[in-house]
Amino acid sequence: MRRLQGFLSEEFPFSWRVIIADNASTDRTPVIAARLSDELPAVRMLHLEAKGRGRALRAAWSASDARVVCYMDADLSTELNRLLPLVAPLLSGHSDLAIGTRLTQGARVTRGTKLEFISRAYNRLVHLALRAKFSDAQCGFNALRGDIEGELLSAVRDEAWFLDTELLILAQRRRLPIHELPVDWVEGPDSSVDIVATALADLRGVARLAVATPIARFVAVGIVSTVAYALLLLALMMPLSSEAANAVARAITAVATRPRTGA
């Protein structure tokens, strides 16, 4: 935090504010964060009773009136000299979102083989299952314009680590321009993230977004309609003739699966 505050004070040409979002920490984070907010200019602390990285991010951004909101890993895995190139396209109106990426030409990354494999496999899955056009879904160095933040966050359901991916996928589906910035990134040595639990939660998030596409909904409706028709046909063939049962079953399933329109 002292390094970040020093960088922003000396090298960042715009006004700024730093929020330390403490979400139900069980160590000394609340005490240290409170002391830092007293000592460092423009540094504030936000305390939440419930866990969840996405929940903390949502609370911090929702309370902000900044033109651009951004976040980064607390261990400063990404070099701070990339912060200005990250927010500049948003302030100029060139893009609505900006993300750091470790997976394009120009990025320099230092991390272990296991995390490298997991990251590339996950991003490959996001590309295949969700047709993502951005290269890195979870760099932890992202920014977006404050005037679209509320609309996007209101559509995001995840309250944990998948929020990054969901936010970007929803922005892409809304055709919002996303700027990608290659970064210098170094793996933090003291990460306490449960990789297995996080990976499983991310997979559930990918599956949820995948079935929310129009094509997936069309396929799902078709399957449900076919199964419902078959069950109704079997049930109606007892009191009715096969021709009458077929007609009634088709009529009921057609009405039940007809798209609803609103005023």
Residues acting as catalytic residues: 164
CB 3 within 8 A of CB 78: no
Nearest to 143 by CA among 181, 110, 105: 181
**Amino acid at the residue 113:** T
Distances from the Cα of 221 to the Cα of 104, 206, 227, angstroms = 39, 20, 10
DSSP the chain: -HHHHHHHHHH--S---EEEEEES-SSSHHHHHHHHHHHSTTEEEEEESS--HHHHHHHHHHT---SEEEEE-TT--B-GGGHHHHHHHHHTTS-SEEEEESSSTT-EEE--HHHHHHHHHHHHHHHHHH---SS-S--SEEEEEHHHHHHHHHH----STTHHHHHHHHHHHTT--EEEEE-EEE--TT----HHHHHHHHHHHHHHHHTTSHHHHHHHHHHHHHHHHHHHHHHHTTTS-HHHHHHHHHHHHHHHTSPP---
